[in-house]
Amino acid sequence: MTMPTLRYEIKMTTAAYHLPEVRSWVRLHQAAFFERYPPRQVSSLYFDTLEGECLDANLIGAHERRKLRLRWYGTDLTAVQGILELKCKTGSLGWKEVFSLPNTLDLSQISWEALEQTLREQVSGPFAVWPAYFNRPMLLTRYWREYYESMDRQVRITIDSELQAYEQFMHLTPNLTAPAPLADVIVVEVKADGNLHRRVSNILSSFPMQVSRNSKYVNGVLETLGAL
């Protein structure tokens, strides 16, 4: 389990048809952003308390927020190499605590009860308190992510497209096939260490999109509730 340095994670959204323009802006920026990693599919399974503590904190804009998710990469659901992430935020700065599961998961052949038992068995140390506390599967999100980094390695930008959300709280097993209808948007996120406020502000001031509050978890849950 690690706790990285506090960092900014500033999000912006726009219609998906602007994706070519956003890519061009990133690649032509004076910070000389380059593609840091190949694009890949990112999946996140979000957990909450039975009372919806994470959802409520985000909706009211609480100064301190946290949420637990199981994250993995790629399209294979039968051998998921999962990483549990506790995302924490205080004001505009955030960090995450991470625990890599030692064994793979087969999400195509598991019940939520069995997954809860598996997490209890695999998660150890101080981190074990979190899957016991946030024990209600709420939402699965999937999207395609592109990774960029400034030439001086101080600022990172991700572009998320092809967003999907799958409601989980009404199911006994993972819902992997019935996504909720979502707006066709892309999410751009600017990330940098917390001591680089001026640098982040300069980049945002020239970006052709407006900063907005955006949570894939909150948006996905609200959309799935509307679809029920």
Asked if residues 161 and 16 have their Cβ atoms less than 8 Å apart, the reply is yes
Strands 185-193, 7-15: parallel, antiparallel or unpaired by DSSP? antiparallel
Q: Within its chain, how far is the Cα of 194 from the centroid?
A: 19
Q: Which tokens hold the place of 16?
A: 């998906």
Residue 1: inside a domain, yes or no? Answer: no
Whether residue 189 is predicted with pLDDT greater than 50 in this model: the reply is: yes
214-226 tens-digit pLDDT: 788 998 998 887 6
Whether residue 1 is predicted with pLDDT greater than 50 in this model: the reply is: no
23-59 tens-digit pLDDT: 999 999 999 999 999 999 999 999 999 999 999 999 9
DSSP 179: P
Q: Which tokens hold the place of 144?
A: 């395609």
Domain count for the chain, please give it: 1
Asked if residues 129 and 97 have their Cβ atoms less than 8 Å apart, the reply is no
2-22 tens-digit pLDDT: 556 799 999 999 999 999 999
pTM of this prediction exceeds 0.75? yes
Whether residue 208 is predicted with pLDDT greater than 90 in this model: the reply is: no
109-162 tens-digit pLDDT: 999 999 999 999 999 999 999 999 999 999 999 999 999 999 999 999 999 999
75-85 tens-digit pLDDT: 999 999 999 99
DSSP H helices, 52-128, are 53-60, 112-122
Residue 154: inside a domain, yes or no? Answer: yes
Nearest residue to 160 via CA among 195, 199, 188: 188
Residue 141 is predicted with a pLDDT of 97
Q: At what angle do helices 216-227 and 53-60 cross, to 10 degrees?
A: 110
Residue 2: inside a domain, yes or no? Answer: no
CA dist 67 and 48 (Å) reads 7
CA dist 20 and 66 (Å) reads 33
Give the Cβ contact number of residue 28 at 10 Å. 9
Q: Which residues of 151-181 are buried (b: 16+ CB within 10 A; e: fewer)?
A: eeeebbbbbbbebbbbbbbeeebbbeeebbe
Secondary structure class of 197 (helix, strand, coil):
helix
**Domain membership of residue 66 as a residue range:** 7-227
Tokens 């990330």 belong to residue = 191
Q: CATH number of the domain that 72 lies in? A: 3.20.100.30
Residue 221: inside a domain, yes or no? Answer: yes
